[in-house]
Structure 1
Amino acid sequence: MTTAARVDLATRIELEDFYYREAELLDERRWEEWLELFAPELEYFAPLLATRKSPASTVVEELGHFDDTKPSLCLRIRRLRTDVAWAEDPPSHTRRLITNLRATAAEDGGVTVRTNMLLYRSRGDMGAFDLIVGERRDLLRRAPDVDSGAGGWLITNRRIIIDQSSLATKNLGVLL
């Protein structure tokens, strides 16, 4: 990241607040409000990670844990609100930690943001939990209406690189 491409301090603070709010919406299962943070043309993808010898890339772009658009996320959320979302009935207890925000100005006036994410997820009363760790790479643009629920930004593209080749969790019934 070059110094010239970095965003100013006010924008960085605004972006941090945006991501903290996003984590809060997800942890509180306020999914419809969370969807407002995304642009209609959203691409939301989590490629697989493979263990390969150097110099081959460990990221498998042809396959993913999920490959969503805003309409498909809407369907996932509608399903979570039904009584047939067994992977999330009863709902998981989650806590998302978003750290190491790195933001650069994009040529189109938007920003490119990389964040590290840690998702803690527990289910039931037995003390078992899952940890999902990764990096999120987002492209954001200013929302046309700054007073929208998006806090002035809309995510147009999210790519999540999960740091595990084989997920230990039984399902990905939660949103990342």
Structure 2
Amino acid sequence: MSQLQHQIEQFLYRESRLLDDRRWDEWIDCYHPRVEYWMPAWGDDDYLTSDPQQEISLIYYATRDGLEDRVYRIKTERSAASTPEPRTTHAISNVEILSSDGDQHQVRYSWSTWSHRYKQSEVFFGHCLCTLVQEDNQLLIKRKKIQLNNDYINHVIDIYHL
């Protein structure tokens, strides 16, 4: 295994663990200030929406400001959808470096999240396409496109489910 592969995997594992541990401030530090965080919705004909500006998305934040606002609402219990916060366990697999150009890397990985709240457990699963950049000797997520493969969900999906 290459050193870069190992470094990217460890970074992705840490980002997921921070969600499980509800360490919101450290989690948000994994993201570049100009990150695009996007989960497109499934269309009627089994296709994903392709334009977050003109089509529906399950989650879309054009910059880290949106993620920071979401984290603020979760931390201050100003989010009814997140109260109480679910217990989660994230698993990441099939981490693949698609391309690497200097300090920028295109990565694809599969994920699943087990979530438990209100005496009910659920599993969410899919894959992510990420652009990771190396800045000041650390990796940051500059773009994250999340494909949720569960077709039907019973409630609002949130950042901790992914």
* TM-score, scaled relative to structure 1: 0.82
The amino acid that maps onto 1:153 is L
Partner amino acid, structure 2, of 1:58? Y
Counterpart of 1:166 (choices 152, 155, 161) is 152
Query: 1:81: how far off?
Result: 1.3
Q: Secondary structure of the equivalent of 1:60?
A: coil
Return 81-90 or 42-51, whichever deviates more: 81-90
Structure 2 residue 65 is matched with structure 1 residue 71: yes
Cα displacement (A) at 1:165: 2.8
Structure 2: gaps of 5 or more residues: none
1:60 aligned residue: 49
Partner of 1:149: none
- Percent of aligned positions that are identical: 24
Deviations 1:69-106 (A, max 9, x none): 20010000000012332222222100000111011333
In structure 2, C-alpha distance between the alignment counterparts of 1:137 and 1:174, rounded to whole Å: 16
Gap regions ≥5 residues in structure 1: 1-7, 147-151
Aligned partner (choices 92, 96, 121) of residue 129 of structure 1: 121
Task: Give the superposition deviation at 1:174.
Answer: 4.0
Q: Does 1:44 align with 2:37?
A: yes
Tell me the distance in 1 between the aligned counterparts of 2:158 and 2:104: 31
Aligned residue number for residue 133 of structure 2: 141
SS in structure 1 of the partner of residue 77 of structure 2: coil
1:157 corresponds in structure 2 to 143
Q: TM-score, normalised by structure 2?
A: 0.89
Name the SS for the 1:78 alignment partner: helix
Superposed CA RMSD in Å reads 1.6
Q: Determine helix, strand or coil for the equivalent of 1:42.
A: strand
